[in-house]
A = this chain, B = another copy of it.
Amino acid sequence: MSTSSPPRDGEEFVAALRGLSHRYWGTHPFHHRMHAGELSEHELRVWAANRWYYQCVLPQKDAAIISNCPVPEVRRGWLDRIVYHDGAADRDHASGRERWLRLCEAVGLDRTEVLDERHVVPGVRFAVDAYVTFARTRPWIEAVASGLTEMFSGHLMRRRVGDMLANYEWIRREDLAYFTNRIEAVAGEGKSTLDIVVRYCVTREQQDRAIDALSFKCDVLWSMLDAIERAAAKE
């Protein structure tokens, strides 16, 4: 076990976390095909309806982190994430949820079939549920570390907007509001999250667990896309 090793210095720790970028779903074959314009409308619909299930649970995942975190400053800073996805009480239209629903409509789904989750396949459900369970049951700092995929997402989403507009002529820029908005939200490339992880993971063991948490999250996303790819190929 590595528990007897000295902790990595900050730079080394961050490098180890960043070193997981190749595990991020940006390199998944389904995403490659998406960006290349090779997905059928059916495949895009399966993707959008299934990823909805993931989008849906993000506020609950973030609330689990707040629930488990005894540090008021961290809780205060994390709260915006819930508002980002759920919207504020007086402006539902501005939520991440709503932007994802618009994308679903753009690819030809109606709201009802998205909201009732009829298209969500078991593999996606299991992976996403595992993520929420992780956030609810593991130490809060590991759950925070699992969200460090935001270090990798900005680059992918910037490419996505360009590639989807170029390769799917029926998709308009406003349909991609989820991504254009999200690009701004992760513009810091996870800097503030990384700062929290570096600050609170001070032993080698805590650092190892943070790396494992990020690795786990990469597995969650990758498995989702595996299940989506398989489901989409069926029809």
Contacts and interface: CB of A to CB of B under 8 A. Distances in A.
A64 interface: yes
Contacts of A135: 67
A90 to B, nearest CB: 9
Interface string A83-113: 1001111001001010000000000000000
Copy total for this chain: 2
Interface size class of A (residues with CB under 8 A): 20 to 34
Interface of A: 56, 59-61, 63-70, 72, 75-77, 79-80, 82-83, 86-89, 92, 95, 97, 135-136
B60 A68 contact: yes
Contact of A59 (B66, B83, B89): B66
B76 A86 contact: yes
A79 B79 contact: yes
Contact of A69 (B60, B72, B80): B60
Contact of A89 (B76, B88, B92, B95): B76
Given A66-B67, A79-B83, 5 more contacts: A63-B66, A64-B64, A75-B86, A76-B86, A79-B86
Contacts of A65: 63
Given A66-B82, A79-B83, A72 B89 contact: no
Contacts of A72: 59, 86-87, 92, 95, 97
Q: What are the 8 A-B residue pairs with the smallest beta carbon separation, nearest first?
A: A63-B67, A63-B66, A64-B67, A76-B89, A63-B63, A60-B67, A72-B86, A76-B86
